[in-house]
Amino acid sequence: MSTGKLMARGVADMRRFPLPQLCTLITVCMVALLAATGLLILHNVQQEVLKTQAQARFQIYWSASSNMTDVEAQWADLKRVPGVAEMSTFTPRAAMAELMRGLSAATPAAPAKPVPTAKADSTANATAANANATANATAAPADPGPMLPASAPDDFAWLEGENILPPTALLSFDIPAGEAPEPWMGRMYARLRGLPGVERVTYNAAQLSLATGWIALIQQAAWPALGFFALVVALVVGNTLKLMMLARRDEVEILSLVGAKPWFIRAPLFANGVVQGFVGSVLALVCLKFLQAWLRSVLDVPPLFLKVEFLPAWQCFSLVFATTCVAGLAAFVAARK
């Protein structure tokens, strides 16, 4: 009898032992779900750190006396630099408006009245026109904006027209794959610092270093965690399958008595284990999907806004593959005398 037929027989024979098979399947599914949940947590922590802190941010200050036409031309060039993920620019007027708004917001306790947002657009320049639009929007009734103290604009009205602030730009970069963050930031710093009219450049070296450290820690923890999960899956699935094989021990004994070769005995049991591992791990992923959807609905609300993502395809595949292999191997070993 060919190996394929033996495997098919092993799968077909699963119906002869419905209760042990069901119990084993539930166990495999639950253990795989436990491992998958651990992976989900690791993955999402890493994603969150990457999303929020793993970008290199440069704040560029031009001289206050710079020609705005030249500066705006530089901004246009900077947008095209490879790796730029986000760019916010501030003309002196826009920066002043932002400063006034910020200072007003910091002034405590006065009866509040709504004013519109003057935050610079992350993709478009907060140019003078933008600032004007902001000023014009003050009267717009459609968007009441945040609640600010009623007296705030009056308190800092004297700042208007002073133009004491320089043009600035805030650039966020995705560090290219394979680049070490710090040398790359050093080179980018030198490049930005060399732009005409640029007076000062600051960047988030410490924050990035912290984020990099976190990511390194997570990546270091990932392998021991994966190893731990794999060990748990192997032990539980292996022992469960061994117990299930007790239900088939008579069959193994009789096959041995009639002269079956080891592979003839083991192949159907191996197929049984493989199917158990595969179905159990796929069911675990289905359960995990429900869990992830529920977690997302619970956590993606103010003030958390945590978007719990599902495992990437390669991790799903790895989980199914590893569980299937372990289950098949355990069944194979369990069939030994």
Residues that bind other proteins (CB under 8 A): 1, 16-17, 250-251, 253-262, 264, 337
Minimal distance in Å, beta carbon 255 to other proteins?
6
CA 38 to chain centre: 14
Minimal distance in Å, beta carbon 333 to other proteins?
15
**Rounded to 10 degrees, what is the CA torsion of 243, 249, 250, 251?**
110
Cα separations (Å) of 5 from 82, 179, 268, 290? 57, 52, 9, 37
d(Cα 177, Cα 159) in Å, to the nearest integer? Answer: 44
Query: Which phi and psi angles does 312 have, rounded to 5°?
Result: -65, 160
Nearer to other proteins, 16 or 51 (CB): 16
- DSSP code for 15: G
Nearer to other proteins, 191 or 249 (CB): 249
Nearer to other proteins, 187 or 336 (CB): 336
Minimal distance in Å, beta carbon 275 to other proteins?
18
Name the β-bridge partners of 201: 60
d(Cα 64, Cα 166) in Å, to the nearest integer? Answer: 4
Nearer to other proteins, 200 or 249 (CB): 249
Q: Of all helices (H) and strands (E), which one includes residue 202? A: strand 198-203
Nearer to other proteins, 10 or 116 (CB): 10
d(Cα 171, Cα 122) in Å, to the nearest integer? Answer: 10
For 125, what's the count of Cα atoms within 13 Å in the CB-facing half-sphere?
21
Nearer to other proteins, 272 or 281 (CB): 272
Minimal distance in Å, beta carbon 22 to other proteins?
16
Buried b (16+ CB within 10 A) or exposed e, 129-150: ebbeebeeeeeeeeeebeebbe
Nearer to other proteins, 191 or 336 (CB): 336
CA 46 to chain centre: 6
Greatest C-alpha distance within the chain: 102
Provide the edge-to-edge strand list for the sheet that holds 84-90: 84-90, 168-174, 55-62, 198-203
Nearer to other proteins, 265 or 326 (CB): 265
d(Cα 171, Cα 191) in Å, to the nearest integer? Answer: 13
